[in-house]
A and B are shown apart, each in its own frame.
Chain A
Amino acid sequence: MSVNIFPGKDVQDFLRVIANLDGAGGNERAKAIVHRIMSDLFKTIEDFDMTPDEVWVGINYLNKLGSENEAALLAAGLGLEHYVDMRLDAEDAALGITGGTPRTIEGPLYVAGAPEQKGKARLDKNPDADAGPLRIHGTVTGPDGAPVADALMEVWHSDSKGFYSHFDPTGRQSEFNLRGAIRTGADGRYEVLTRMPASYGCPPSGATQTLLNALNRHGNRPAHVHFFVTTDAFRKLTTQFNIEGDPLVWDDFAFATREGLIPPVVERTDGHGVGFEEATYRDIEFNIELTPKVAGKDNQIVERARAAA
Chain B
Amino acid sequence: MPNSLASSPADAPDIDAASFAGVLRVLPHRAQDLARLAMLRGGGAPVVTVIGKYNHGKSRLLNELMRRDAFAVADRRETVCLSECLHAGVRWLDAPGLDADVAGADDRHASTALWVHADVRLFVHSVKEGELDAAELALIEALRTDAVRTCRKALLVLSQADQAGEGAALDRVVSAIAAQVPDMPRHLVSATRHRQGMEAAKALLVARSGIPALEAALSDALACVGQARAHETELLAGEMRAELEAIALGQATALKALRQREADQRRAFEAELSALLETIGGEMAAVVDAPGPDLALVADSAGTRYATTAAKQERARVQVAYSRACIRIDALLAGHGVSGLPRAQETAAASLNTVMVAVMGVSVKFRADLRRLFCTALGRARLHADFAYYFDLSKDRLRLRGEIAAAAAAREAAIEARMALPAPETGA
A and B interact physically? yes
Interface string of A147-164 (1 = CB under 8 A from B): 000000000000011110
Q: Which residues of B from 275 to 307 have beta carbons under 8 Å from A?
A: 296-302, 304-305
> Which residues of chain B are within 8 angstroms of A162 by Cβ–Cβ distance?
361-364
> Is there contact, CB below 8 Å, between A216 and B348?
no
Prevailing SS type, chain B contact patch: helix
Q: Is B330 an interface residue (CB 8 A)?
A: yes
What is the CB-to-nearest-CB distance from A226 to chain B, in angstroms, rounded to a whole number? 15
Measured between beta carbons, the chain A residues less than 8 angstroms from B296 are 247
Q: Which residue of B lies closest to A130 (CB)?
A: B363
Is B255 close to A, CB under 8 A? Answer: no
- Contacting pair B357 A169 (CB below 8 A): yes
- Contact among B298, B354, B361 with A205 in the assembled complex (CB-CB below 8 Å): B354
Q: Pick the interface stretch among B42-50, B122-130, B320-328.
A: B320-328
B348 to A210, Cβ gap below 8 A? no
Q: Are A167 and B299 in contact (CB under 8 A)?
A: no
Q: Which residue of B lies closest to A73 (CB)?
A: B351
B362 CB contact (under 8 Å) in A70, A161, A255: A161
- Complexed CA–CA distance, A163 and B353 (Å): 12
- Given A68, A199, A221, which contacts B351 in the complex, CB threshold below 8 Å? A68
CB–CB B304/A250 < 8 A: yes
Q: Is A276 an interface residue (CB 8 A)?
A: no
Does B317 count as interface, using CB distance less than 8 angstroms?
yes
Which A residues are CB-close (under 8 A) to B32? none
Which B residues are CB-close (under 8 A) to A109? 349
Q: How many residues in B have their beta carbons less than 8 Å from beta carbons of A?
A: 47
Q: Give the chain B neighbours of A248 by CB distance below 8 A.
A: 299, 315, 364
Q: Which residues of B contact A219 (CB under 8 A)?
A: 319, 323
Q: Tell me if A204 and B360 are in contact (CB < 8 A).
A: yes
Complex contacts, A166 vs chain B, CB 8 Å = 347-348
Which chain A positions have C-beta within 8 A of B298? 247
Closest residue to B366 on the A side, CB-wise?
A: A247
Distance in Å: Cβ of B8 to nearest Cβ of chain A: 53
| Distance of A1 Cα from B145 Cα, bound (Å) | 87
Known: A199-B364, A205-B323, A246-B299. A251 touches B315 (CB 8 A): yes
Structural contact, B351 and A198, CB atoms closer than 8 A:
no
Contact with B along A192-232 (1 / 0, CB 8 A): 00000011111111111110110011111100000000000
The distance from the CB of A188 to the nearest CB of chain B, in whole angstroms, is 28
Task: Contact check, B352 vs A169: say whether CB atoms are below 8 A apart.
Answer: yes
A70–B351 touching, CB < 8 Å: yes
User: How far apart sit A206 and B350, CA to CA, in the bound complex (Å)?
Assistant: 10
Determine whether the beta carbon of A209 is less than 8 Å from that of B300.
no
Note all chain A residues with C-beta closer than 8 A to B324.
213
* CB < 8 Å neighbour of B352 from A203, A210, A213, A245: A203
Considering the chains assembled together, what is the distance between the CA atoms of A153 and B318 in angstroms?
37
Q: How far is the CA of A213 from the CA of B341 in the complex (A)?
A: 24
- Cα distance A200–B369 when bound, in Å? 13
Nearest-CB distance from A52 to chain B (Å)? 25
Q: Judging by beta carbons under 8 Å apart, are A201 and B356 in contact?
A: no
A259 beta carbon closer than 8 Å to chain B: yes
A171 close to chain B: CB less than 8 A: yes
B323 touches A209 (CB 8 A): yes
Specify which of A69, A167, A200, A218 is in contact with B315 (CB 8 Å cutoff). Answer: A218
**Alpha-carbon gap, A161 to B354, bound state (A):** 15
A263 CB to closest chain B CB, in angstroms?
Answer: 14
The reply to whether B362 and A247 form a contact with Cβ atoms under 8 Å apart is no
CB–CB A204/B300 < 8 A: no
Residue of A nearest to B298 (CB): A247
A58: interface (CB < 8 Å): no
Identify which of B300, B346, B356 contacts A251 (C-beta below 8 A). B300
Interface centre among B304, B309, B319, B360, by most chain A C-beta atoms within 10 angstroms, is B319
Contact pick for A169, options B319, B320, B323, B353, CB 8 Å = B353
B window 332-362: CB within 8 A of A: 341, 344-354, 356-358, 360-362
B102: Cβ under 8 A from any A Cβ: no
Instruction: Chain B residues near A217: list those with CB within 8 A.
Output: 316, 320
Q: Which residues of B contact A285 (CB under 8 A)?
A: none
Give residues of chain B (94-116) contacting chain A, Cβ–Cβ below 8 Å.
Answer: none
A307 at the interface (CB under 8 A from B): yes
B358-395 contacts to A (CB < 8 Å): 358, 360-364, 366
Minimum C-beta distance from A298 to chain B (A): 27
A residues less than 8 Å from B301 (CB atoms)? 250
Give Cα distance in the complex from A68 to B309, angstroms: 31
Known: A170-B358, A251-B312. A213 touches B323 (CB 8 A): yes
Question: A204: nearest residue on chain B (CB-CB)?
Answer: B326
Q: Contact at A250–B351, with CB atoms within 8 Å?
A: no
Assess whether A198 is in contact with B363, with CB atoms less than 8 Å apart: yes
Inter-chain contact A247/B299, CB cutoff 8 Å: yes
With contact pairs A68-B351, A69-B349 given, residues A199 and B363 touching in the complex (Cβ less than 8 Å): yes
Please determine whether A213 and B320 come into contact, CB atoms closer than 8 angstroms. yes
Nearest to A258 among chain B residues (CB) is B302
Give 9 nearest A-B pairs by CB, closest first: A218-B319, A69-B350, A204-B326, A250-B300, A161-B361, A162-B362, A162-B363, A205-B330, A169-B358
Additional pairs, 14, CB under 8 Å, beyond known A108-B349, A204-B326, A204-B357 = A168-B347, A168-B352, A198-B364, A200-B362, A202-B351, A203-B356, A203-B357, A205-B329, A209-B319, A210-B327, A212-B323, A217-B316, A220-B319, A247-B298
B-contacting residues of A (Cβ < 8 Å)? Answer: 67-70, 73, 108-109, 160-163, 166-171, 198-210, 212-213, 216-221, 245-251, 255, 257, 259, 307
Interface CB pairs A-B, < 8 A, 9: A69-B350, A69-B351, A166-B348, A198-B363, A201-B362, A201-B363, A207-B351, A212-B323, A218-B319
